[in-house]
Amino acid sequence: MKKKLLSAVSVLLCAVMLFCTGSAAAFCAEKPRYVVLGDSIAYGSGLSNPNEAVYGKIVADTNGFEYENYAIPGSTTKNLLSRIENEKVSAAIRAADAISISIGGNNFLLGDLPGILYDGIVKEDYSRIDAIKVSFYSDLDAIVGAIRAKNPDAAILLQTIYNPQTGYVGEVYRQGADRLNAAMHDYAASNPGSILIVEVAESLQDHESDFAEDKIHPSAAGNEKIARAVLETMAENGLGSETEPVVTVPGKDLRGTGMMALTVDFYGVLFHFLSTVRGFFSSLFTKEAGYRHPFVSKITETRGLDSASDSKRLFLNADDSHW
């Protein structure tokens, strides 16, 4: 009886081995593991059903990957660097074949956003964003280093930052996105083979339907476009063959999130008004020595002021930092 049982087991094992060495070997192989890290974009905050319809899930369903998502809304690069050391996340990274990262937007959205918007709209000064770019690059280097220490072989797909804003805020947001995207490309150029850039910014541009009501996060349509961009980058680098997203569960756009958009728009209108007022008073003076607008001349004569600079102090408090 034992001999018959052993013979049966042997035949079964041989059959399995033959099956897995033939054309059906793919069924015996372990599925590639796909891990998503990052912020609310990676989490799917523009959707009411993110677990089913966020772009990471679409990518996994399309390519037949095992899928894990450890994104947390509101994350900055420093938050992500800390998150990577979480025991569960570390284990997922070690086992991953491909890792998608969406990060960077909160570095200026959750920083001093009013100050950044004020400087950009009123003063056309982007020095704060320049400083954010420097720290972003440093954090990106640390993030990639931390992942590589756990998994030297996984493909790291880093998504560029899109600009969902229009109006007065749009230009400031574009300046921020462009700088951080430039930092990503600089890093990739300085560290060949370290990361793969996914050009999400090119996929999501000025199409209102791509964004949720909050004018920050991708809608269901936007998530499908991001998925396509990720799939194309994967296919170009031998990580999959499919480029057309397979949507198993349609995404549902999250409603009732327009307050954030109204707040940002309010800042834009307010600072544009201040810029106009500042421009008006500044136009009363020119750099040519001795010139004063007739209106200013009348006032300064009345007040006994001697120069254009004296006049400027009268109207502008002489210190641009007040603006």
Q: Do 156 and 76 share a domain, yes or no?
A: yes
Q: Do 168 and 227 share a domain, yes or no?
A: yes
Beta-bridge partner residues of 218: 211
Domain that holds residue 193: 20-256
**8 A C-beta contact, residue 44 and residue 220:** no
Q: Under DSSP, is residue 197 helix (H, G, I), strand (E, B) or coil?
A: strand
Measured in whole angstroms, the distance separating CA 88 from the mean position of its chain's CA atoms is: 24
Any domain includes 74: yes
Residue 268, amino acid: G
The model carries a pTM of: 0.74
Q: Of 241, 256, 271, which residue is a domain's last? A: 256
Q: Do 246 and 277 share a domain, yes or no?
A: no
Task: Name the residue with higher pLDDT: 22 or 166.
Answer: 166
Q: Do 208 and 279 share a domain, yes or no?
A: no
Provide the number of structural domains found in the chain. Answer: 2
Task: List pLDDT tens digits, range 111-135.
Answer: 788 888 888 878 889 999 999 999 9
Q: Cα separation of 281 and 279, whole Å?
A: 6
Confidence at residue 143, expressed as pLDDT on a 0 to 100 scale: 98
Task: Name the residue with higher pLDDT: 94 or 29.
Answer: 94
Query: How many helices, marked H, and strands, marked E, lie in the chain?
Result: 16, 5
Q: CATH number for the domain including 188? A: 3.40.50.1110
Residue 292, amino acid: R
Q: Do 222 and 146 share a domain, yes or no?
A: yes
**CB atoms near residue 264 (< 10 Å):** 22
Residue 151, amino acid: N
Task: List pLDDT tens digits, range 210-244.
Answer: 998 888 899 999 999 999 999 999 999 999 999 99
Q: Do 250 and 291 share a domain, yes or no?
A: no
Q: Do 242 and 271 share a domain, yes or no?
A: no
